[in-house]
Structure 1
């Protein structure tokens, strides 16, 4: 999945696949996670959020099923 860079202290980059409703997030810690069943609205709001890290923590983490991607780049 193609990710775009984020201006965030927590998120390096993120990408979204509307066909599968999948969000992929690369964190500054180096981890890359895939979130399933994410509505397009949530992706748009994450991209527009003044603080993407805060938006992620409040609206995505622990809300959508996640999967760690050990070798994603």
Structure 2
């Protein structure tokens, strides 16, 4: 899954279902991978009105991540 949406925080995201890695490309240019994110969370993230709020409240606290760029 690859999605581009209007957000003041998230520029784009790519989901790799085979590894359950969510790659977030921030408006700042930073790129982070979030690990073991299940498809149901990705579906909710894709539908969220505020990607930044969903990221901060649901994804960041629950899933390990690393900075790629």
TM (norm. structure 2) is 0.91
Counterpart residue number, 1:47? 46
Give unpaired runs (5+ residues) of structure 2: none
Q: Structure 1: how far apart are the matches of 2:32 and 2:2? A: 12
Show CA shifts across 1:3-50 (max 9, x none): 421211110000101110110001112110000000101111111001
**Does the 8 Å contact 1:16/1:24 carry over to 2?**
yes
Q: Structure 2: how far apart are the matches of 1:38 and 1:24? A: 10
Counterpart residue number, 2:12? 13
TM (norm. structure 1) is 0.87
Relative to its length, the structure with more helix (as a share) is 2
CA RMSD of aligned residues (A): 1.3
Return structure 1 stretches of 4+ with deviation > 3 angstroms: none
Give unpaired runs (5+ residues) of structure 1: none
Aligned residue-pair number: 69
